[in-house]
Amino acid sequence: MPMKPLWSSFAEGKGVLNMFFTKMHGLGNDFIVIDGRDLPAETDFSALALKQCNRYTGVGADGILLVLNSNIADARMRIINSDGSEAEMCGNGIRCFAKYVYENGIVPKTSMSVETLSGIVRPELLLGGNGHVSGVRVDMGVPRLKCEEIPVLGMGLCVDRELVLPEGTFNVTSVLVGVPHTIVFVDDLLHTDISLLGNAIEHASIFPRRTNVDFVHVIDRNTVEMRTWERGCGRTLCCGTGASSTLVACVLNDLTSRSITVRIELGELRIDWAEDDHVYMTCPAEATFTGTFRFCSMNVFDFDNTIYRGDSTEDFVFFNFKKQTSLLRFVPGIVWAYLLHAMHFRNKTETKQAVFNMFPSIRNIDDRLAEFWETHFTNIKTWYPGVQKEDDVIVSAGPEFLVTPCCRRLGIKNIIGSRVDPVTGQYSGENCSDEEKVVRFRESFPGAEIQNFFSDSLSDTPLALLAQQAYLVRGDDFLPWPAS
């Protein structure tokens, strides 16, 4: 029975995704499968993979498979590795993908076409007696053998080529079956350090786009055993493109026939290099469980001197002094408060309160606020609209009521600022600065991930430390946040 379609919806309109997923695997190579057809276009799947593929703090997987619409095939598959990078193709992934879209009614055909970054792939589903998918046969396409196609530095074929690295000297064969694979034939898999050698070969300078690495022990001309180090994932229990590449490498080195069984730790794959020059892979795919997780990855910006050129509170105060000169009577109290703050006799909240004490005396403050932004909206820096996303968050030390009209005009929905009543001029809580920004952000977005953080002030370091990337804004330039 088909599962409920994978809908991901915004919670409370704050950009938090409640995301439904299915955990699947192909002989141990496991994936989080997500129906991304209705997800927001700006969803950061790299950040999602980094968070949820973690086997200690997330769902745990070798990667994420995204189900998407296609204009040239029955469906489109994106593969996001556990390190956040994107792969062109995945043999085990395509089997899980095909089983998922068939059993969920997305593509109700046993022979289908799937768009991938490496081209159109055509899986064929094998059904059991209960109508469920018992196995998948995948046309992996024609293998690419030339160095420039794989790519590998050099000319011609890369067959039994000597590769010298600090970790040792290896004879390698490289081919492209969807993604680049480099095969190393060994006599003893048990005593081969897959992780150490796999990582070294993956990053060898002769591979411009890095490479997947397969260590293969040939048992006879019809059977081999394989262990894989995957580019962007590390050690995995199975790899369909690796098994397919292994057969091609075996034939090129005259080690096996053109139809073999590839044994891996949790089972076997049947691989055939047919007369039409296509490689075919046949093996099962399984769904293990379903679930829901909350995901929120957003960009967070300070307001004053970050996206706004200047200090909006100061500008608003001086704007009102010009419009209503009677307010100048508050100047001595404001100056005195800042002197006490400079001598560390007053905190930021107490100091700013001296400024806000003038608000009750402003005539028609709502009209004055609208008039202020009519003349000061142009202070928004021109670079901001170019990087703006729908779920951006503004976290400002300025009064929330002051920055909100400008943010709404920009289309920003998520605004956090100091809680100040414009009628009474009184604070509710602390000034929204320093550690208080972290407290307020966590209150509004519990469990959220900050992708990028921008601020002009090092006092925002507590919030910057929560971000994957933080930038210090200097005018219109972004600098990496200094190490603390």
Q: What is the pTM of this model?
A: 0.65
d(CA 465, CA 482): 11
| Closest-CA residue to 228 (of 216, 220, 218, 219) | 216
d(CA 22, CA 12): 24
What is the set of domains in the chain, with CATH numbers?
A: 8-141+289-295 (3.10.310.10), 158-277 (3.10.310.10), 298-480 (3.40.50.1000)
What residues contact 325, with CB distance under 8 A and at least 6 apart? none
Tokens, residue 339 = 């002197």
d(CA 434, CA 285): 50
Please, what is the average pLDDT of the chain?
92
Tokens, residue 1 = 């029975």
**375 residue type, one letter:** T
pLDDT value, residue 17:
67
Q: Report the 10 Å Cβ neighbour count for 327.
A: 17
- Estimate the share of the chain in helix, then strand, then coil, as percent rounded to the nearest 5: 25, 35, 35
Instruction: Identify the segments of the chain with pLDDT beneath 70.
Output: 1-17, 296, 484
d(CA 33, CA 15): 21
What residues contact 198, with CB distance under 8 A and at least 6 apart? 213, 215, 228, 229, 234, 235
Active site residues per annotation: 90, 239
Summarised one tens digit per residue, pLDDT across range 46-101 is: 888 998 999 998 999 999 999 999 999 999 999 999 999 999 999 999 999 999 99
Phi-psi region of 131 (alpha: psi -120 to 50; beta: other; left: phi over 0): left
**CA-angle at 396, arms to 421 and 365, nearest 5°:** 35
Tokens, residue 56 = 């200690």
d(CA 391, CA 43): 10
Summarised one tens digit per residue, pLDDT across range 167-181 is: 999 999 999 999 999
pLDDT value, residue 394:
97
Confirm if 88 and 116 have CB atoms less than 8 A apart.
yes
pLDDT value, residue 15:
52
